[in-house]
Amino acid sequence: MKTKEFVGSMKINGRAIASSFSPDGSRIYTHSDEGQVFIWDVKSRRCLNKFTDEGCLHGTSIAVSKNSQYIACGSNSGVVNVYAHDDCIRETSPKPLKAIMNLVTPATSLAFNPTTEILAMASNISDDALKLVHIPSFTVFSNFPVFRRKLLYLAYCMDFSPRSGYFSIANNKGKALLYRLKHYSDF
């Protein structure tokens, strides 16, 4: 097979807004504009399951945790639903473990850290609209971003370093901001 060779496609009803691979690369998760989530097998290109993101009218983002335990789905209303992965594979209307309502503009970016302890969620519609969520307790860190210091601006994408020691944010000002997460001793 040649590099960048087209190998196939998967069709959903409506527009595909966001997608994410499973950590092992065997599945693709797609969030549609209509709030449907499709789970695809990469080898066969068949849909393994389809479920409705609870309360979502317009899907905007999706992320799968590195340990494949959680799926996070962002919506146009700013709500981010976090689901148990196993429920999403089996059910067509799974109940979210938590609906996180700390963004007031569309949740356009989602990222889990490698240890699945933190979920970063951001909106590129409003300045400094970025929140970090502690996953085991589903509580939002109150100390990030630092208040009264306009640094983030519009967050377009973000990610964690392989051992979670760093957190990086790319913004609309052409900067890649780098934050040190001191809870993690390694980078």
What confidence score (pLDDT) does residue 186 get? Answer: 85
Q: Which positions of the chain have pLDDT values less than 70?
A: 1, 147-149
Between CA 172 and CA 44 the distance in angstroms is 38
Hey, what are 30's tokens?
């797609």
Q: Which helix (H) or strand (E) holds 179?
A: strand 176-180
In sequence order, the β-bridge partners of residue 157 are 170
User: Strands (DSSP E) along 3-107, which ranges?
Assistant: 16-21, 27-32, 36-41, 47-52, 59-64, 70-75, 80-84, 98-100
Task: Give the start-to-end residue ranges of the domains of the chain.
Answer: 16-147
Q: Is 69 left (phi over 0), alpha (psi -120 to 50) or beta?
A: alpha
The separation between CA 14 and the C-alpha centre of its own chain, rounded to angstroms, equals 20
DSSP string, 137-149: TTEE-TTSSPTT-
Global model pTM greater than 0.85: yes
What confidence score (pLDDT) does residue 52 get? Answer: 97
Indicate the CATH number of 16-147 among 3.20.20.140, 3.30.465.10, 2.130.10.10, 2.30.30.90. Answer: 2.130.10.10
Number of CB atoms found within 10 A of residue 11's CB: 8
What confidence score (pLDDT) does residue 147 get? Answer: 60
Between CA 20 and CA 113 the distance in angstroms is 14
Are 130 and 120 within 8 A, CB to CB?
A: yes
Are 35 and 56 within 8 A, CB to CB?
A: yes
What confidence score (pLDDT) does residue 155 get? Answer: 95
What confidence score (pLDDT) does residue 32 get? Answer: 98
Give 86's Cβ-side CA count (13 Å radius).
2
Between CA 166 and CA 56 the distance in angstroms is 31
